[in-house]
Amino acid sequence: MSLDERKLDVLRAIVEDYVSTQEPVGSKALVERHNLGVSPATVRNDMAVLEEEGYIRQPHTSAGRVPTDRGYRLFVDRLSRIKPLSPAERRAIERFLAGALDLDDVVHRTVRLLAQLTRQVAVVQYPSLARSSVRHLELVPISTTRLMLVMIADTGRVEQRLVDLPVPVPDEAVADLRRMVNEKLVGKRLSDTPPLVQALVDEVAPDARNTMATLASVLLETLVERHEERIALAGRANLTRGSLLDFQGSLRPILEALEEEVILLKLLGEVDASTLRVRIGDENEIDNLRSTSVVSTGYGPGATIVGSMGVLGPTRMDYPGNIATVRAVARYVGELLGNN
């Protein structure tokens, strides 16, 4: 049986009411608060169908209905209009992000902003190294046998690593190394660098080969292998909004999951996805987060995607609002990155 227009209206009304009141919603309350133009009894019949189809369920026999993950999914896909942001919100976003000094600052402001606007947990991935190019490599002598390698990416990310040299290397030789690695690697995508780094070792004069090999291994680690994705989080306290029942009684698994970078990355999904993505409850791959929903999207200058961001909260969240906010913030941040 397919769902006619009114049944969808009923589902929409249930979702909206439940999200705002946090309580199972009954047929009578529903007709009172929405002009459905029919009686409670009719709504009850519709509800019975919706329940049979798995869109809503009853926590107890004598209670109202609550949307299921499937119900939210239908709501998100077909029943909700994205709420346009209020001018005040737009201004808040602009003002909040405008003063950022550098990448770190942008990311921090963004994540706090998201948490504040959505009242959920916000997650922002730093521009991914894998999608960046090398802007500059700097070698700073710390001692005769130790360098600090500083890599500056075009996305503004800066990574540094210590390099312990096998033999002492005088400053002039360091300058040579610096020149060589920059000539070879600047402008290249980080993911394209491995063969180039290898070539560096092969081409260098034999007496410097050992040093270059050491440097090369650190380079590879920094540029590719380590692939260190960084992530900023904010708004954890928002998890305590509303009742604990939102998370089947315990914040434990969620707080645990949020401490694992690997999990957070999986959560944000493939960076590739430039389109906004909503994962509802069980759709989540991470077991600890089956009672939450995630709204995430990629961001970056222009059409390029360099990282993702999103919010996480109870499945009972304001999807249209959060979707609008995440989308808007991502767009602003993208523009900001484009300007630099």
Partner DNA sequence: GACTGGCACTCGTTACAGTCGAGTGCCAGC
Partner DNA sequence: GCTGGCACTCGACTGTAACGAGTGCCAGTC
Decide if 324 contacts 85 (C-beta within 8 A): yes
Pattern 187-216, binding to DNA, x per CB under 7 A?
Answer: ------------------------------
Closest approach of Cβ 303 to its own copies, in Å? Answer: 23
Check binding of 22 to DNA (CB under 7 A).
no
Partner whose binding site includes residue 290, from DNA, its own copies, none (CB under 5 to 8 Å by kind)? none
Size of the site for its own copies (CB under 8 A): 28
Helix or strand (DSSP H, E) at 88: helix 87-98
Q: How far apart are CA 298 and CA 312, in angstroms?
A: 15
Q: How far apart are CA 79 and CA 318, in angstroms?
A: 13
Q: How far apart are CA 108 and CA 112, in angstroms?
A: 6
Check binding of 239 to its own copies (CB under 8 A).
yes
Pick the closer one to DNA by CB: 52 or 102.
Answer: 52
Check binding of 52 to its own copies (CB under 8 A).
no
Decide if 67 contacts 15 (C-beta within 8 A): yes
Partner whose binding site includes residue 150, from DNA, its own copies, none (CB under 5 to 8 Å by kind)? its own copies
Check binding of 244 to DNA (CB under 7 A).
no
Check binding of 127 to DNA (CB under 7 A).
no
Q: Which of 67, 71, 127, 235 binds its own copies (CB under 8 A)?
A: 235
Q: Which of 11, 18, 19, 64 binds DNA (CB under 7 A)?
A: 64
**Paired tokens of 290:** 């089956």
CB atoms within 10 A of CB 314: 21
Closest approach of Cβ 3 to DNA, in Å? Answer: 12
AA identity, residue 61: T
User: Where does this chain touch DNA (CB under 7 A) — which range of 56-64, 131-139, 150-158, 219-227?
Assistant: 56-64
Q: Which of 57, 161, 266, 290 binds its own copies (CB under 8 A)?
A: 161
Partner whose binding site includes residue 316, from its own copies, DNA, none (CB under 5 to 8 Å by kind)? none
User: Where does this chain touch DNA (CB under 7 A) — which range of 39-47, 103-111, 159-167, 207-215?
Assistant: 39-47
Closest approach of Cβ 31 to its own copies, in Å? Answer: 36
Q: How far apart are CA 317 and CA 295, in angstroms?
A: 10
The gap from C-alpha 193 to its chain's centroid, in whole angstroms, comes to: 26
Q: How far apart are CA 110 and CA 114, in angstroms?
A: 6
Q: How far apart are CA 317 and CA 235, in angstroms?
A: 15
Partner whose binding site includes residue 45, from its own copies, DNA, none (CB under 5 to 8 Å by kind)? DNA
Q: How far apart are CA 334 and CA 179, in angstroms?
A: 32
122-155 residues labelled b (16+ CB within 10 A) or e (exposed): bbbbbbbbebbbbbbbebebeeeeebebebbbbb
Alpha-helix residue ranges (DSSP H) falling in 144-246 = 171-185, 193-203, 206-220
Q: How far apart are CA 29 and CA 31, in angstroms?
A: 6
Q: How far apart are CA 207 and CA 217, in angstroms?
A: 17
CB atoms within 10 A of CB 120: 29
Q: Which of 8, 38, 213, 218 binds DNA (CB under 7 A)?
A: 38
**Paired tokens of 243:** 């009742």
Pick the closer one to DNA by CB: 45 or 210.
Answer: 45
CB atoms within 10 A of CB 252: 10
Judged by CB under 8 A, the chain residues 82 through 111 that form the site for its own copies are 101-102
Check binding of 47 to DNA (CB under 7 A).
yes
Partner whose binding site includes residue 136, from its own copies, DNA, none (CB under 5 to 8 Å by kind)? its own copies
Which chain residues interact with DNA by CB under 7 A?
A: 6, 24-29, 37-42, 44-45, 47-48, 51, 58, 60-65
Which chain residues interact with its own copies by CB under 8 A?
A: 101-102, 135-136, 138, 140-142, 148, 150, 152, 158, 160-162, 234-237, 239-240, 250-252, 255-256, 258-259
